[in-house]
Structure 1
Amino acid sequence: MALDLQAIIKEIESGDQRRIPPVDTWFPEREGAIDIHIDSQMCWFHEGAPFQRDSLVKLFSSILRKEGDTYFLVTPAEKLKISVDDVPFEVVGLLERENAFGEFVAVTNTEDLVPLDTSATMQLRVYQGVLVPYLEVRKGLFARVSRHVFYQMAEHAELRSCDGEDQYVLVSGDVEFVIGNA
């Protein structure tokens, strides 16, 4: 999926971000499962065949909810369990806000925009034997930071000592995000 960075920048500046349905307020009586799978590379499959339309991935990603370790597609009418290898999203872009020096916005593979501010949560997790940053996209749904975005973050990171441990920290505005250990 090719990202239109100019369109994303305009969206950030206008504040007109993609609207996400209030899936956390929907508790449908009808529950089931559907053969939709998100693999470790964040590729979506239905009955073993890859999704062909990015717009369908974006639509379905907007109705995702996580309960415990289980992922669901949720509408007001039904809740369907799906399988996810790691996480449903990947951070594929890092933009520096033009109107606010030193503030960053992460862009996911589904074009969700995640400002790296006080409301953002970043965790370090082990993925394939390596410590990797994961960023919360919304309400318990995380994105794994792609390797090239990690390198972008590392270019802006500072080495800091925290609890006697040296760590690389990305500073976005007034907020610090640990992206790795030294």
Structure 2
Amino acid sequence: MPHEPPADLAALSLADLAEAVAARRLPPVDAWAPAREGESHMRIAADGSWFHEGGRINRPAMVRAFSGLLTRDAAGRHWLMTPHERLSIEVEDAAFIATDMEVRHDEAGAPVIAFRLNTDDVVLAGPDHPLRVRGTAEVPAYYLAVRHGTEARLNRSTYGQLIDHALEVSDPEALAVESRGARFRLLPA
């Protein structure tokens, strides 16, 4: 069955966003203990493009399928996991790119920040998916924890949306946002 991209984030309610998150059935890569290890000959470029043996992977469904098998270990190495083997994959910056964001409020009025990734996954920032900032005040880089140690880097327009939201809800000197009960400072340390 082909993947149908979800509607624009702006058109989705909080319930729709939660449903989009739940609908992404992922393999249990954290439960697998493959006996073999190898090289995938794959690379994820800093702009989120996927390559295999130097050629770009142009089929979004292939990228989406492979992305569900990604993990990152404690040493920062990325792997494509199967039940039988673990294949290294070169990742130039982050495994995913966050391409859009929306803020909704739960039943209690608390903010929930939803991000759409370049794989059409939807990730809700919060304790299990924290935001962090690297870089400098002049050139910040914002990242969102996705799954199994992997991260998404917020593209320029998405971090612009995040900063605009932060300026609406916090003091510019202590720039921060909240989502699902967690508070995230947006100024580089």
2:184 to 170, 174, 177: 177
| Runs (5+) with no aligned partner, structure 1 | none
Aligned residue in 1 for 2:45: 39
Cα distance between partner residues in 1 of 2:116 and 2:140:
21
Q: Deviations over 1:60-109 (max 9, x none)?
A: 00000112221110010111111111111011111223655532211111
* 1:124 matched to 2:129: no
TM-score, normalization by structure 1:
0.84
Aligned residue in 2 for 1:151: 160
Q: Which moved more, 1:40-49 or 1:110-119?
A: 110-119
Cα distance between partner residues in 2 of 1:152 and 1:174:
20
1:52 to 52, 58, 63: 58
* 1:105 matched to 2:114: yes
Q: Is the 8 A contact 2:98 2:153 kept in 1?
A: yes
2:151 to 132, 136, 142: 142
SS in 1 for 2:174: strand
Q: Is the 8 A contact 1:132 1:179 kept in 2?
A: no
Q: Is the 8 A contact 2:72 2:150 kept in 1?
A: yes
Q: Deviations over 1:123-181 (max 9, x none)?
A: 11128x722111100121111111111111111114448xxxx3311233543222225
Look up the equivalent residue of 1:5 and give its one-letter code.
Answer: A
Cα distance between partner residues in 1 of 2:182 and 2:96:
23
Aligned length: 176
Q: Is the 8 A contact 2:133 2:188 kept in 1?
A: no
| Runs (5+) with no aligned partner, structure 2 | none
Cα distance between partner residues in 2 of 1:61 and 1:73:
8
Alpha-carbon distance change, 146 to 110 in structure 1, aligned in 2, over 3 angstroms: same
Q: Is the 8 A contact 1:168 1:181 kept in 2?
A: no
* 1:30 matched to 2:36: yes
Q: Which moved more, 1:54-63 or 1:20-29?
A: 20-29
Q: Which moved more, 1:166-175 or 1:85-94?
A: 166-175
Look up the equivalent residue of 2:39 and give its one-letter code.
Answer: A
Q: Is the 8 A contact 2:125 2:131 kept in 1?
A: no
* 1:12 matched to 2:14: no
Name the structure with the higher strand share: 1
TM-score, normalization by structure 2:
0.81
Alpha-carbon distance change, 93 to 6 in structure 1, aligned in 2, over 3 angstroms: closer
- RMSD, aligned α-carbons: 2.7
Aligned-pair identity (%): 30
Alpha-carbon distance change, 180 to 3 in structure 1, aligned in 2, over 3 angstroms: farther
Look up the equivalent residue of 2:54 and give its one-letter code.
Answer: G
